């Protein structure tokens, strides 16, 4: 039986093949994500992976169904695997925001789905760190959120030589647009052209801009100058005060494809430009109001950081730690007559919180020892004929003899 296309199996290390996904690395990534989010006072939430199709079609239109992993369930309900967390989150916030003091700072690590042909950095399923803040308009929150994004990547061993956050603002472009006589009906088309500027041929962009009443050199000069708006200036200064300046730069090329962004927007990229965006986000002050049918009006902002691109980057830059089984003690059973005593010892060590392994069947001593080495265990313990324990520290190549009680005691303290 094969996997469904675009889905992944996660194996324990060592990995069976070069392109296999590591369950250990995934746990490591999630642990780091959670740890940093909590340092910033974010609380974890979650929602259903399967939602009514209308949750996504209601505000985005039917055309997105083509990209959704959707189907009819046995109750003939039109359902979709969640492609993003924001609608679910907006529902949760709209329903119960009054129970939480503002600002509400929440994060989640949902598995998200889409129905598309897979390519590099883009599968049919991925995990994403989502961090959002509700109920605060001040740009210092934007700075806080961007700082969280930066620190998350730093916690994974990435430096300012590996990545940069490109900071931009919908407001800056809106101002540019209005100042040059742009009319609201053309705003969307204009943003689309700006969004594609880096990928599209210059001549084509120039043509499209001209049709909208703009000049490409004017747009290029605006991007080149990269003059921060007042709110971007505040965000930059607060990041600077944290010592995070090297990780961020104003870059008006970034505009984000989504229609609902309203203020500062940002994307994190690897410096060498080998990968897709690592993370992206921004302000969406109107979305909660729209999704709640006008009942709740809360300013909001957030970002998403996917595991696929990030893992590719961490692998390419060799920033992932070595993963082992994390075994503390391998009990060696030289003589099967001492297996009961050894089981007793193993049980006591496990009760003390240590990870313990031993051969479940009779095996030659050297084979057991080799297994301990393969497991990269911290030490081996062997019950001797006189009832004492012979302990060998594998790394230090140190050997000592002590009583079972002493050994268990030392392993308890070592925590």
Among the listed ranges 81-89, 161-169, 210-218, 230-238, the one in contact with RNA (CB under 7 A) is 81-89
- Between the alpha carbon of residue 388 and those of residues 211, 338, 344, 349, the distances in Å are 88, 11, 13, 15
Shortest CB 105 distance to RNA, Å? 19
Is residue 116 within the footprint of RNA (CB under 7 A)?
A: yes
| Cβ proximity to RNA, 17 vs 99, nearer residue | 17
Shortest CB 275 distance to RNA, Å? 9
Is residue 68 within the footprint of RNA (CB under 7 A)?
A: yes
d(CA 372, CA 348): 19
What residues from 267 to 286 belong to the interface with RNA (CB under 7 A)?
Answer: 280
Is residue 182 within the footprint of RNA (CB under 7 A)?
A: no
d(CA 31, CA 22): 14
Is residue 9 within the footprint of RNA (CB under 7 A)?
A: no
φ, ψ for residue 318, nearest 5 deg = 55, 45
| CA 374-375-377 angle, 5° bins | 120
d(CA 89, CA 79): 17
Is residue 13 within the footprint of RNA (CB under 7 A)?
A: no
Shortest CB 347 distance to RNA, Å? 24
Q: Is 61 exposed, middle or buried (0-12, 13-18, 19+ CB in 10 A)?
A: exposed
Is residue 122 within the footprint of RNA (CB under 7 A)?
A: yes
Is residue 105 within the footprint of RNA (CB under 7 A)?
A: no
Shortest CB 185 distance to RNA, Å? 19
Is residue 170 within the footprint of RNA (CB under 7 A)?
A: no
Is residue 103 within the footprint of RNA (CB under 7 A)?
A: no
| Cβ proximity to RNA, 236 vs 261, nearer residue | 261
Among the listed ranges 61-69, 71-79, 240-248, 342-350, the one in contact with RNA (CB under 7 A) is 61-69
Of 12, 217, 246, 257, the one binding RNA (CB under 7 A) is: 257
| Strands, E assignment, 292-342 | 300-306, 329-332
Among the listed ranges 113-121, 228-236, 238-246, 404-412, the one in contact with RNA (CB under 7 A) is 113-121
φ, ψ for residue 227, nearest 5 deg = -70, 120
Is residue 302 within the footprint of RNA (CB under 7 A)?
A: no
Of 50, 53, 64, 404, the one binding RNA (CB under 7 A) is: 64
Of 103, 108, 109, 114, the one binding RNA (CB under 7 A) is: 114
CA-based R_g, the chain, Å = 27
Among the listed ranges 10-18, 137-145, 202-210, 347-355, the one in contact with RNA (CB under 7 A) is 10-18
Is residue 117 within the footprint of RNA (CB under 7 A)?
A: yes
Count how many residues are written for the chain. Answer: 415
Distance of CA 256 to the CA centre of its chain: 19
Is residue 397 within the footprint of RNA (CB under 7 A)?
A: yes
Is residue 415 within the footprint of RNA (CB under 7 A)?
A: no
Is residue 56 within the footprint of RNA (CB under 7 A)?
A: yes
Q: Is 402 exposed, middle or buried (0-12, 13-18, 19+ CB in 10 A)?
A: middle
Shortest CB 291 distance to RNA, Å? 13
Of 38, 344, 370, 400, the one binding RNA (CB under 7 A) is: 370
Sign for the pseudo-dihedral over CA of 60, 65, 70, 73: positive
> What letters, b where the CB count within 10 A reaches 16 and e where it falls short, cover 150-189?
bbbbbebebebebbbbbbbbbbbbbebbeeeebeeeeeee
Cβ proximity of 238 and 149 under 8 Å: no
Is residue 3 within the footprint of RNA (CB under 7 A)?
A: yes
- Between the alpha carbon of residue 356 and those of residues 98, 328, 331, 408, the distances in Å are 48, 6, 7, 12
Is residue 199 within the footprint of RNA (CB under 7 A)?
A: yes
Of 161, 221, 351, 374, the one binding RNA (CB under 7 A) is: 374
Q: Which residues contact 133 (CB under 8 A, 6 or more apart)?
A: 103, 104, 105, 106, 141, 144, 145, 300, 301, 302
> Contact positions toward RNA, by CB under 7 A?
2-3, 5-6, 16-19, 56, 64, 67-68, 83-84, 86, 114, 116-120, 122, 199, 256-258, 280, 304, 365-366, 369-370, 373-374, 376, 392, 394-395, 397
């Amino acid at each position: 039986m094969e996997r469904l296309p675009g889905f992944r199996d996660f194996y324990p290390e060592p990995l069976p093949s070069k392109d296999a996904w590591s369950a250990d690395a995934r746990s490591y990534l999630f642990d780091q994500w959670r740890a940093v989010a909590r340092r910033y006072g974010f609380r974890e939430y979650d929602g259903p992976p399967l939602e009514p199709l209308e949750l996504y079609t209601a505000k985005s239109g039917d055309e997105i169904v083509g990209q959704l992993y959707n189907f009819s369930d046995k109750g003939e309900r039109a359902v979709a695997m969640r492609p993003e967390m924001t609608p679910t989150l907006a529902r949760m916030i709209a329903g119960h925001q009054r129970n939480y003091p503002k600002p509400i700072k929440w994060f989640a690590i949902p598995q998200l789905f889409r129905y598309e042909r897979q390519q590099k950095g883009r599968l049919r399923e991925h995990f994403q760190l989502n961090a959002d803040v509700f109920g605060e308009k001040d740009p210092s929150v934007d700075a806080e959120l961007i700082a969280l994004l930066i620190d998350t990547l730093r916690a994974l061993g990435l430096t300012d030589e590996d990545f940069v956050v490109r900071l931009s603002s919908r407001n800056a472009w809106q101002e540019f647009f209005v100042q040059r006589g742009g009319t609201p009906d053309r705003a969307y088309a204009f943003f689309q052209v700006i969004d594609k500027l880096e990928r599209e041929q210059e001549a084509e962009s120039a043509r499209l801009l001209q049709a909208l009443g703009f000049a490409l050199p004017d747009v290029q000069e605006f991007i080149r100058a990269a003059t921060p708006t007042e709110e971007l200036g505040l965000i930059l200064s607060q990041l600077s005060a944290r010592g995070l300046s090297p990780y961020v730069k104003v870059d008006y090329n970034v505009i984000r494809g989504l229609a609902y962004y309203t203020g500062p927007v940002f994307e994190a990229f690897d410096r060498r430009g080998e990968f897709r965006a690592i993370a992206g986000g921004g302000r969406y002050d109107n979305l909660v109001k729209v999704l709640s049918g006008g009942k709740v009006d809360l300013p909001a902002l957030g970002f998403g950081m996917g595991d696929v691109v990030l893992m590719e980057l961490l692998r390419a830059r060799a920033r992932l730690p070595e993963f082992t089984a994390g075994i503390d003690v391998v009990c060696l059973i030289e003589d099967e007559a001492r297996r009961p005593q050894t089981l007793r010892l193993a049980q006591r060590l496990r009760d003390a919180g240590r990870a313990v392994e031993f051969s479940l069947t009779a095996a030659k001593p050297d084979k057991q020892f080799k297994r301990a080495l393969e497991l990269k265990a911290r030490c081996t313990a062997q019950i001797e004929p006189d009832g004492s324990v012979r302990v060998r520290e594998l790394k230090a190549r140190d050997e000592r003899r002590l009583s079972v009680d002493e050994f268990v005691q030392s392993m308890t303290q070592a925590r």
